[in-house]
Amino acid sequence: GARIFAGTPATGLGRDRAGWRVRTAGGVASAERVILATNAYSGRLHDGLRRSVVAACSWQVATDPLPAGLRETILPARQAGSDMRRLLRYFRLDAEGRFVLGARGSFAEPQPRGSLRRLCAAAAALFPQLRGVAFTYQWGGLVALTPDHLPHLHALAPGLLAGVGYNGRGVAMATVMGRELAGLAAGMDPSELGLPVVNVRPMALHAVSRIGVHAATAWYRLLDGWK
């Protein structure tokens, strides 16, 4: 019964006697309860939520379906794997036999050309038989990192809920968080949830936190490059 409005970003959030009002470029939506499922894209909707995480770019690439003979030499049991680097690279075969590889990208906006080159080189280093195979698909986006590396479930105000901070593991964690947010919004007692409801803790030096994490990332990349 839900109505979905794609391509309609929320530009503002406020509360009056009738409840919450979400402003968009095309109009205003009213609701008794609002869930902020914005993760690393919270923007200015809730500044405290935005400053409770550090946004970093993650990037993935994929080939076309590999020929059967080549596919049999790469993850033959269809494992999903990752390496042991400090800045790990993760990889798998999808249902159609495409090889998919992802890794940490820049802390700036996604940079397709540089990220594509790095990930193609990483794929060939992991599986030399992929050398020369074209990576047809590429995509990237921001992930939200939390200081304790755990996802956070928040009750920001009466009727205003949020879940953020999947630290690059959102396929599984965000799915679980959605279930918990739905239960909380439907009136479930917080003690019955699988995740604790915690207070938002904006980082005191959020403006420079990305610099520190960027420096740590550069150091880890250097260590990973040593033989």
Q: Is the pLDDT of residue 181 over 90?
A: yes
Res. 174 pLDDT band, cuts 50 70 90? very high
Q: What is the pLDDT of residue 131?
A: 94
Where does the pLDDT of residue 63 fall: very low under 50, low under 70, confident under 90, or very high at 90 and above? very high
pLDDT tier at 167 (50, 70, 90 boundaries)?
Answer: confident
Does the pLDDT at position 89 exceed 70? yes
pLDDT of residue 218: 60
Residues of the chain above pLDDT 90, percent: 53
DSSP-derived secondary structure for 127-146: -GGGTT----EEEEEEEEE-
Tell me the per-residue pLDDT of 13-46, one tens digit each, with 9 for 90 and over.
999 888 999 999 989 999 999 999 999 998 889 9
Residues 6+ apart with CB under 8 A from 143: 39, 40, 55, 56, 57, 58, 166, 167, 168, 170
Residue 209 above 70 pLDDT? Answer: no
Compute the average pLDDT of residues 121-141.
92
- Rounded CA-CA distance 128/49 in Å is 43
% residues pLDDT > 70 (the chain): 84
Mean pLDDT for the stretch of residues 101-115: 66
Sheet architecture: strand order including 152-157: 34-36, 160-164, 152-157
Could you tell me the pLDDT band of residue 150, with boundaries at 50, 70 and 90? Answer: very high
